[in-house]
Amino acid sequence: MGVRGNPAVPDSFIAGFSGFQVLAGNNFQFIFQRYRYYSAAGLQYSFQYSQDLRNWSDFTPNVISASVNEDDTFYEVMTMGLPAALTSGQHALFLRILVQASN
C-alpha cells in the first residue's frame, strides 16, 4: 500500500457524503466512502450528531452495507443508519464524520 495524494488537502469526491435518505419509521440512512485500510493506516472514524451545529454528541451508526468502490478500490462505499431514537421528533439534525489519527 503506497502513499496516495496529499493528506493535508481533502479530496471532495472521496471525503464527502454521497447521499442520504429518510425511510418510513424515521429510519435515516447516509452513504459515504471510507478508506478500506483505515485501521492499518492508524485512522479512526467517529460519528457525531447535533440539533444546532454547536453541541455535538457521539453516536454509533448501524452498518447497513459496505461495498468496494469500483472506481478506486482503496475505498469502500458505506451505507449507515442512525438509531431511530435520534431521529424521532427532530425538526433539524446534523451529522458529521470525524477521521482522526488513532494514536
- Does the pLDDT value for residue 26 go beyond 90? no
What is the CATH number for 37?
2.60.40
- Which is more confident, 22 or 62? 62
Instruction: Specify whether the CB–CB gap between 14 and 66 falls below 8 A.
Output: no
pLDDT digits (tens, 9 = 90+) for 33-46: 899 999 999 999 99
- pTM across the whole model: 0.75
Residue 11: inside a domain: no
Closest to 60 in 3D by CA, of 21, 90, 92, 86:
86
- Does the pLDDT value for residue 3 go beyond 50? no
Residue 73: inside a domain: yes
Structural domain span for residue 60: 20-101
Q: Where are the alpha helices (H) located in the chain, listed in sequence order?
A: 12-15, 84-87
Residue 26: inside a domain: yes
Residue 86: inside a domain: yes
- Does the pLDDT value for residue 85 go beyond 70? yes
Cα→Cα distances 27→4, 21, 34, 57, 68, Å: 36, 8, 22, 19, 24
Q: What is the average pLDDT score of the chain?
A: 80
Residue 10: inside a domain: no
Residue 75's SS3 state is strand
Residue 28: inside a domain: yes
Domain count along the chain: 1
At 84, the pLDDT band (50, 70, 90 cuts) reads: confident
| Predicted pLDDT of residue 1 | 44
